[in-house]
Structure formats: C-alpha cells, structure tokens
Chains A and B, each alone.
Chain A
Amino acid sequence: MPAGIVSYGVYIPKYRIRAEEIARVWGEREDMAQNLNVFEKSVPDFDEDAVTIAVEATRNAVKRASIDSARIGAIYTGSESHPYAVKPTGTIVGEAIGVDHELTAADFEFACKAGTAAVQACLGLVTANLIDLGLAIGTDTSQGAPGDALEYTAAAGAAAYLIGRENLAAEIEGFYSFTTDTPDFWRREGMPYPEHGGRFTGEPGYFKHVTSATRGLLKKMKTIPEDYDYAVFHQPNGKFPVRVAGQLGFSRDQIEPGLVVPWIGNTYSGSSLIGLAATLDVARPGERIFLASFGSGAGSDAFSIRVCDGIEDIRDRAPKVRDYFENVQYLDYAVYAKHKGKLRL
C-alpha cells in the first residue's frame, strides 16, 4: 500500500533582520546579501524556541487535514536546537496537540537533516502497518556566532509532516540516503555556537552528499531530472541549492517554488522541509517533486514524491509558506542581539 504525506504545516517567526544590517555592524562588504543570495532571515521572538515553533507548525498540519491527534502513534522531532539536552521536545509537542498518550517519541539530531530522518522513521512504521499516523518535525532556532559567516543565514522555522497510508496529499515513492563521517560543521556539548570548516562545508560536505544521494535515488527510481516537475535541495544559503541543481541537471524553474532561503534564511532542520511545503503549496495532483536534504557531519536523504488528489482538499485550510513572508517586522542588530540572547543581562 502506498504511504506518504497526509498533511503538512509550517511556522516561521514574524521578525526579520536584513543581511545588509548584519554586514553594516561587522564592516563586511555591502554585497554580502547578493553573494549569499540571502537578503533577510527570520528571528525568533524572546519567548520562542524550537519547541514553540514546532507546536505552531504541527497545529497547522493537524488543522490542514482535520486530523484527530489521537491517531498519531509516533512523534519524531529533528532539531539541533532542542531546548533541553535531556527532556524530549516531542513530548511537549504531543501534549500541546492533544495526542492520545499511547505513542512512541524520540528527538533526532543530524544537523540540518534531522527532519527528513524523522520522515523516514515515520515512513518505516507506517509502511510496516505498526502505526496509523506518524508525526515528523524539523524545527530549529539556529545560532551563528556574532560576526561569523553563519550569522547571515542562521534562522528560525519549523515544518511538520503527518505520514500515513490513507487520504494522501502526496505519496513518497521512494527514498535513498548517503552518509559519511565528514566533520564539516559541529557544536560540542555545552557550547553556544557551532563551528565549521569554512569552505570545507562546500565540496566535501554539501555537494558530495547531495549529489550522491540524488544520483543514488534517480538510479534506484530509474528516473531522470526531467521526470520531476519540482525539486527542492537543502538551502544553507541561496547559492548552494542553485548550483547543485545545475550540476545535477535540474532547472531553475524546477527549484524556484521551493527556494525560500533568500527571504527566511537557513532554518536548519526545517529548511528542506519548508522548501517542500512551499512546493506542495502550488503543486497539482500527478506532479512529481524531488527532495534532497543535507545534514552536516554528514549525510543527505533524497525522496521521490508524487502529489495526490488529496492535496486540493487540504491545501488552503492552513497558512502557506509564503503567507509567512507578509507582515514581517524588521529588527536592527541591537534588538536582534537582544532577541537571540547575544546580550548577557
């Protein structure tokens, strides 16, 4: 029996800071935004964290398909900014959406691809008929050290996917993963900000893993890029997904609907899943979507997705990704620093 996405929901905080404002503070070149193809990024409110934005995204997913939360048998939450080192994010999300307590839950961490790993775990349980519905979440309020290159992109956002077998909005036709031990980006226990290998995060990290997972899935599915109407690649900045799409034979038109990083930044575990949601917001039944996440450390999960008739019934029942681009509130660097806890009181 086919399995896939029964519903989806996203949440992006309303605050933004412009890349040019960060560049101004640190004396960087004014064309930093153009170079990164990231013009602004989302910033969480004082009282928002990876849990609260995961709850908002999940409530949107539940609302979109009018799901009875008691049907959810598993909650897997991917994030690299879980507020607790020990105490699951998923339990708080579950309680906030009113689940029946007969479920399993665990938190995942794999840099920016923990959310797609959660989708795979849910898909396994659903396909094996062990649960009715699984909830997979990618959520992050990511951190970049002041003045570091990451500060231009490290943003906040969450995406939640309900994975099941019935009333599908989109079928997951297959997936393929590629994983190696590549230390391109890391954060040690107790450290507030991550470290990274600079340019090493590019070729040996992002490009090697995304291209390997993509080519692996195309071979497994016996498909070519032209078989897909849309493609979404992980978006650490606005350059990498555009370049990797070109290398792999996907066109700019295929990636355009899901390319959201120029306006919200890199939402880490939420990134590729928010890109997928933005694509589902516009895709028609029968169309196919290619998705490839990337997580430093490093690995990539690629998915082949076919949009089903059910998408038309549910699409307009919850906020779409681009709805969160409206009515945003811009912060200067000083208020941004206060929001992000960069100022010690």
Chain B
Amino acid sequence: MSTVPRFWRHIPQRYNLVGTHCSKCDEYYYPPRTICPNCRRNAKMEDHKFKGLGTVVTYTTIYNATDDFKRQTPYNLAIIELLEGPRLTGQVICSPSEIEIGMKVKPVFRILGKEGDRGIIYYGTKFVPVEGSI
C-alpha cells in the first residue's frame, strides 16, 4: 500500500496535467518543479494547467507487456511535446498502424493502472489523435 500516498500526491498532475511555470523566464515544467533551474532563487514559480494538446515526438509499440497491461497489447507509448514546450511520456490510444511521429494528440481521462483486484485504481491522462476524435 506504500504507493497510495505517492499516487495521491500526483493526482493534480495526472488528472489535469498541472505543472509549473516560471513567470520570470517564461519556462514551463511538467512534471512540476518547485525550483526553476534557469532562475534559481530569483524564480517566480506558479502552477500551470496544461491544455494537453501536443505532438508525438517519438513512440514505441508494446507487444509483450507486464501482467497488468497484457489485456491492452498492442499499445503505443509516446514522448509527447506539449504546446507549451515540456515533453512527457504517455499512452496514445490508437492502432499501431495509425500512430506516427508528428501526430497531433489531445488528452483523455482513462485508467492508468490497477493494484491487482483489491488495490486502488490509478486514473489519469492518456492521449488520442486529434484527427478523427470528437
């Protein structure tokens, strides 16, 4: 159960892509940072909720997954560059033949994982292609 508090701390960033922004140097951070490496003690950090719109920088398709993800194979994991600049790793929900570098994506709310049949359910953000989505 040691992962429960860790997940709980991450709820804002997982559910709503809340990161940080330094208004002094205009740099955006995801996951959130408490210190701006550019401005250090002169930083002016504030929470920033990312729109979640982004572009696939690169990706891989998982065919052999761990037990928790076996049911979902094959699935795509991508590095996504958000409009505001930061890059993050996320699942892109589409066929492996459909995903490509440069694809525009948007966020959706999904189950990220489960702690077996008895533990908590982790919810958060995944991505879908903008084209063809409602």
Contacts and interface: CB of A to CB of B under 8 A. Distances in A.
Interface of A: 45-49, 51-52, 55-56, 59, 83-84, 87, 92, 95-96, 98, 319, 323-324, 326-327, 338, 341, 345
A303 B98 CA distance: 45
29 contacts: A46-B71, A47-B72, A47-B110, A47-B111, A47-B112, A49-B121, A51-B121, A51-B123, A52-B109, A52-B110, A52-B111, A52-B123, A55-B123, A56-B108, A56-B109, A59-B109, A84-B121, A92-B123, A95-B11, A96-B16, A96-B109, A98-B16, A98-B49, A319-B134, A326-B134, A327-B132, A327-B133, A345-B70, A345-B71
Interface secondary structure of A, over-half rule: loop
Contact of B110 (A48, A59, A324, A327): A48
Interface in B1-60: 11-12, 15-16, 49
Nearest to A318: B134
Interface residues of B, number: 22
Contacts of A92: 123
Given A49-B111, A52-B109, A56-B109, 18 more contacts: A45-B93, A46-B71, A47-B72, A47-B93, A47-B112, A47-B126, A48-B111, A51-B121, A56-B108, A59-B109, A84-B121, A96-B123, A319-B134, A324-B134, A327-B133, A327-B134, A338-B71, A345-B71
Nearest to A55: B109
Given A47-B126, A323-B134, A338-B71, A96 B15 contact: yes
Contacts of B134: 319, 323-324, 326-327
Nearest to A319: B134
Interface in B104-123: 108-112, 120-121, 123
Contacts of B70: 345
A55 B109 CA distance: 7
Contact of A46 (B72, B108, B120): B72
A324 B132 CA distance: 11
B113 to A, nearest CB: 9
Q: Please give me the 4 A-B residue pairs with the lowest Cβ-Cβ distance, nearest first.
A: A47-B110, A55-B109, A47-B111, A96-B15
Contacts of A96: 15-16, 109, 123
A345 B70 CA distance: 8
A56 B128 CA distance: 13
Interface in B68-90: 70-72
A83 B121 contact: yes
B67 to A, nearest CB: 8
A37 B102 CA distance: 43
Nearest to B107: A59
Nearest to B16: A98
A220 B67 CA distance: 57
Contacts of A341: 71
Nearest to A98: B16
Given A52-B123, A338-B71, A345-B71, A45 B110 contact: yes
Contacts of B112: 47
A211 to B, nearest CB: 36
A83 B93 CA distance: 21
Contacts of A56: 108-109
A221 to B, nearest CB: 36
A117 B132 CA distance: 35
B7 to A, nearest CB: 12
A327 B132 CA distance: 7
Nearest to B109: A55
Contacts of B93: 45, 47
Instruction: Kindly name the residue among B72, B112, B134 whose own CB sees the greatest number of chain A CB atoms within 10 A.
Output: B134
